[in-house]
Chain A
Amino acid sequence: MGQKEMIAMLLAGGEGKRLGVLTRDLAKPAVYFGGKYRIIDFTLSNCAHSGIDTVGVLTQYQPLDLNRYLGIGSPWGLDRRDGGMTILPPFVKQKGGVWYKGTANAIYQNMSFIERYNPEYVLVISGDHIYKMDYELMLQHHKHTGADVTIAGIEVDWKEAGRFGVMHIDDEDRITAFEEKPKNPTSNIASMGVYIFTWSELQKYLIYDEGNRASSHDFGKDIIPSMMKDGKELYSYPFKGYWKDVGTIESLWEANMDLLADDPPLDLSDSSWRIYSVSPNQPAQRIGAQAEISSSLVTEGCMLEGSVNRSVLFYGVHTAKNSYITESVVMPNVRIGEGARIYRAIIGEGAVIQAGVTIGGPEDDAITVIAVDQFVTSDHLLQEVEHS
């Protein structure tokens, strides 16, 4: 097996607790986004467009759907003879198996996978962000600065900064201070959770960190601070463009709504940077005689008879006459009954909204989430559709 200059390790084990019912049976990277995608499609497509042909996907929480979705990586061009996609779940070793204790520990447990390719650099990314980024440019930056680690950074709103790892940088992009989720942030340059490590350095720190009982085995909390403390070369790669952490209901909803702008900050139709996904093999959408659709994204396999405004509809959604959907995200194969009215909601895959039901209201700012396969009747009795 040839040596690879850089391979990617994609952290896809996130439980996504803050997405509530949407991640009840689903790993966060497998959550639907943008009409036909899953969140993980964005990072995998970035790899494909950045010329990365070897990706280890680290899974842990609810991996069934995610594994089925990823298959052998064909949609992202990762079905390669040499390299390609490898799914890396926690496994049992001679001394007994353990779950991944943290992001760094997940990589530590798969060091032998990385060693097979003997790369010079390792890209560590996560499957829960929406963005388009050329990792090749970041690698050039990493080589140019001679860094031990390069962390992609983006300027965020000051009031959001406390949710992220924030960095202070000098004129040459050198990181002078790093704080993980500070209460009172003193910088608004957030770590995007995208790291390029020089492998020989990362290897040392992973081994050291594993032996440290006080460590939580996390990149942001442990590995980066200890490299900082040792005076290693830490640089930031300034990223300009759209990047969104869709870890909460609000941010997931907002990121979907962002796609509806006349000139959206994230352009899905850019033919030089297609977002690849598994094709659901659905026919073209059928727009009925009484349908009215505006400012929306609608996907193949939809059959629409009602009104849709400022919403994102995934494949196979059927809406009946006189129904009305606004500012909502409707996931695959949802059925919307006659006269139903839906305001600001995220409707989970396969849910059925019966005729006449109203969800949310024109004056209501809160986002309603309807769980996967839920059956919503007009007297608001929520029952689950039984799996047959």
Chain B
Amino acid sequence: MKHKMLGVINLIHEPDKLERLTQGRCLATVPFGARYRLIDFVLSSMVNSGISNVAVFAHTKYRSLMDHLGSGKHWDLQHRQGGLFVLPPATDDIQDFNRGDLFHFYQHRDYFYRSAQEFVVITRSHMVCNIDFEKVIQHHLEREADITVVCKRQEDLLTGKARRVKLNEDGRIVAIQDHFGRLESDINSMEMYVMRKELLMEIVETSLAQGQDHLVRHAILSRLDKLKVHGYMYEGYLGVVNTLASYYRNSMKLLNPQVWKELFFQPGPIFTKVKDEPPARYLDGSRAVNSLIANGCRIEGTVINSILFRGVHIQKGAVVSNSIIMQNGIIGLNSIVQHSILDKDVRVEGNRDIRGADSSPFLAGKRKII
């Protein structure tokens, strides 16, 4: 059956306040959860929901994005009808880069017109979740809404920043406010919007004609009274990852077995680029406790409460705790690493002592040698 929904992952002006982790890459490709990139969660959710036509609106620093997504085959998005479309800004004028998402949607309007799907779901990449969009569209149709916003009731966002939403008793959204606003609500917007494609195109054109070019800030906020904007309550696990602190705290949350089961398996699996690493090797005398460990790791030392990405090598006598070590990191003989985030290819030589604090983890940029 042909699916009625188009997926749009909107990376235009997605805030990327992850310090050195987003220095050379966009937020969507920040490594997360021992073997994934942030974008994998929403992309896999779309695929698992039967969406077979996905556009990723790239904005800046998208080399890593192109490399990661490739042809889309790892998400089963390489096929004749639909598939994956990566759409970087289409403009000659450098000024246009700063314009809002509606402008960029307009620049690529042919993509929308050419797709046969009737509905569109627009998302960001930094909402780490595993969601069935089929249920969202069902809800959208049942409520006869114009726009449905996916929401999550959660008091503590672990320092992640999200817009807050107020609903009336019918589930209609009466107010949306930026994260710094004073709205008293524990309902957060997951920045996922379902609507008819026609409505989106209309919004794009009328907003741009009025000099407004931001989807949420301008178009949706100003239409809350005119359009039926409803909230859909998502019940699964949500991690809002858009600051360094929220990155660290949400990563550590994955060590909880319940979260591990929920986020990675329910309702569907999370896909990522396949690397063909062998199984992890634990050598004699190694010790691993309460940790997430990816394939290709070689563990000779001790790992406690930590996340090791693919191909990490913990040498003899080294002790890694409460840390995140990204792909191909090496922790040298007898070194101590605590409360740290080491980006890809970081090498800690022997007998080093690196300690961050729980509230402010130590961060080492890509390929650094310590």
Binding site for B on A (CB under 8 A): 34-36, 74-75, 262, 268-269, 274-277, 279, 281-289, 291-300, 303, 308, 312-313
A296 / chain B contacts, CB cutoff of 8 Å: 281-282
A291 / chain B contacts, CB cutoff of 8 Å: 288-289
* Contact yes or no, B276 A275, CB < 8 A: yes
B19-27, B231-239, B293-301, B352-360 - interface stretch: B293-301
Partner of A275, one of B34, B264, B278, B285: B278
Q: A281-B269, A286-B260, A294-B282 are in contact. Are A299 and B295 (CB under 8 A)?
A: yes
Q: A291-B288, A292-B287, A300-B35 are in contact. Are A285 and B293 (CB under 8 A)?
A: yes
Check: B279 CB closer than 8 A to any chain A CB.
Answer: yes
**13 A-B pairs (CB sep. < 8 Å):** A35-B279, A269-B296, A281-B269, A281-B271, A283-B35, A286-B257, A294-B285, A295-B282, A296-B281, A297-B281, A298-B282, A299-B295, A300-B279
Task: Write the chain B residue with the least CB distance to A305.
Answer: B257
Partner of B288, one of A74, A275, A287, A299: A287
**Which residues 261-317 of B sit at the A interface, judged by CB distance below 8 A?**
264-265, 269-272, 274, 276-296, 298, 303, 307-308
Check: B73 CB closer than 8 A to any chain A CB.
Answer: yes
* Contact yes or no, B279 A295, CB < 8 A: no
Binding site for A on B (CB under 8 A): 33-35, 73-74, 255, 257, 260, 264-265, 269-272, 274, 276-296, 298, 303, 307-308
Q: A281-B270, A286-B257 are in contact. Are A262 and B284 (CB under 8 A)?
A: yes
Q: A281-B270, A282-B269 are in contact. Are A293 and B286 (CB under 8 A)?
A: yes
B279 / chain A contacts, CB cutoff of 8 Å: 34-36, 268, 297-300, 312-313
* Contact yes or no, A279 B274, CB < 8 A: yes
B303 / chain A contacts, CB cutoff of 8 Å: 287
B274 / chain A contacts, CB cutoff of 8 Å: 75, 279
* Contact yes or no, A293 B288, CB < 8 A: yes
Given contacts A287-B291, A289-B290, 11 further A-B contacts (CB under 8 A): A269-B278, A283-B265, A284-B35, A284-B292, A284-B293, A285-B293, A287-B293, A295-B284, A298-B282, A299-B295, A300-B279
Task: Write the chain B residue with the least CB distance to A270.
Answer: B278
CA–CA, A313 to B293, complex, Å? 14
* Contact yes or no, A288 B290, CB < 8 A: yes
Task: Write the chain B residue with the least CB distance to A269.
Answer: B278
A-B contact count (CB 8 A): 108
Task: Write the chain B residue with the least CB distance to A285.
Answer: B293
A289 / chain B contacts, CB cutoff of 8 Å: 289-290
CA–CA, A299 to B293, complex, Å? 9
* Contact yes or no, A299 B280, CB < 8 A: yes
The 7 closest A-B pairs by CB, nearest first: A284-B34, A35-B279, A268-B278, A283-B264, A297-B279, A299-B279, A279-B274
A294 / chain B contacts, CB cutoff of 8 Å: 282-286
Minimum Cβ distance to chain B for residue A48 (Å)? 11
* Contact yes or no, B270 A300, CB < 8 A: no
CA–CA, A271 to B168, complex, Å? 57
Minimum Cβ distance to chain A for residue B314 (Å)? 13
* Contact yes or no, A285 B280, CB < 8 A: yes
Partner of A300, one of B271, B284, B289, B295: B295
CA–CA, A289 to B290, complex, Å? 5
CA–CA, A87 to B7, complex, Å? 36
CA–CA, A303 to B281, complex, Å? 15
* Contact yes or no, B35 A295, CB < 8 A: no
B265 / chain A contacts, CB cutoff of 8 Å: 283
CA–CA, A205 to B286, complex, Å? 56
Minimum Cβ distance to chain A for residue B265 (Å)? 8
